Structure 1
């Protein structure tokens, strides 16, 4: 069965956003080109790590002699996108992701794959065999290529979205829910 690739080479919009209240938010990576929109669910940690790694790639490229790819050191103001997500129809929940750099097009490349049975099994269970890659059927994937300015704006927005969750307890560091918090201080 061939993989259905949702490919966006020069997207009009690529953002991470959420639906729900802090503590019960669902994170989405949403990409649009013209009328084609794809939304995939992510974990908060996947979103944070994606933003961190994009900035790391761009920061490393800046250090190349002469900055040959014209990587911006900060987010270009004209690329800031603070709008809400467009209507979400979840394509899949993300399992594995990869991040790369294409010097021929000067774009950051994101690949996202749905959670598979292999992702969902417990590695500690000795009765479960590890499957070869050839045994895993990946029916679809998301492939996004974004220019460097868009990537900077994407990372900035994603960090802001991740950071807009529940505030941390000043005593124990755990998140404080809207309906209260029982602080569990570590024993001294």
Structure 2
């Protein structure tokens, strides 16, 4: 079967979003142009890595080519377009700079059981996993990174002692010798200190 490559050269939106409650969220990336919508599922860590690397890429492009860095971006806070039907789960991600169009290029490839030849990333070969390829202006790239940071931060609060996320029912904290930690726990009170 032929490989499907969904290309968005001038997307109206390219955003990260979630479905579900903190601790049980499913992460999506969604590209939108007019009435065309493509959603893919991925892990929280993949969203974080993509946002971080996008910021580093913009800084490198500015340093090497003098491309202006956008100011503080406005953040798209609208929800994902529903209904959400994921095309695939993301396995490999590619990130690059297209100097001809002055765009950040993001490629998201489907999980595959076979070993992936890196030449498939950012290429139109007929063999390989399905992909979504999005071209973003520097402003859109900054906006994507800023929204992604907000989406990731909206998860469960970290435990002040061990750093692990605290769920709605608390968590077993290794720093309290296995005692159940509940949300709102003040570590100063545990050590007999006034807060």
After TM superposition, the score normalised by the length of structure 1 is 0.83
Q: Does 1:117 align with 2:113?
A: yes
- Secondary structure of the corresponding residue to residue 173 of structure 1: coil
Instruction: Tell me how far apart the structure 2 counterparts of residues 186 and 54 of structure 1 sit (CA, whole Å).
Output: 38
Q: Does 1:167 align with 2:157?
A: yes
For residue 72 of structure 2, what is the aligned residue in structure 1?
A: 74
Larger radius of gyration: 2
Aligned pair count?
Answer: 168
What does 1:29-68 correspond to in 2, within 5 Å? 29-64=29-64, 67=66
Candidates 139, 142, 145, aligned match of 1:152: 142
What does 1:94-105 correspond to in 2, within 5 Å? 94-105=90-101
Q: Which runs of 5+ in 2 are unaligned?
A: 121-126, 178-195
Q: Is the 8 A contact 1:172 1:186 kept in 2?
A: no
- Secondary structure of the corresponding residue to residue 52 of structure 1: helix
For residue 123 of structure 1, what is the aligned residue in structure 2?
A: none
After TM superposition, the score normalised by the length of structure 2 is 0.80
For residue 7 of structure 2, what is the aligned residue in structure 1?
A: 7
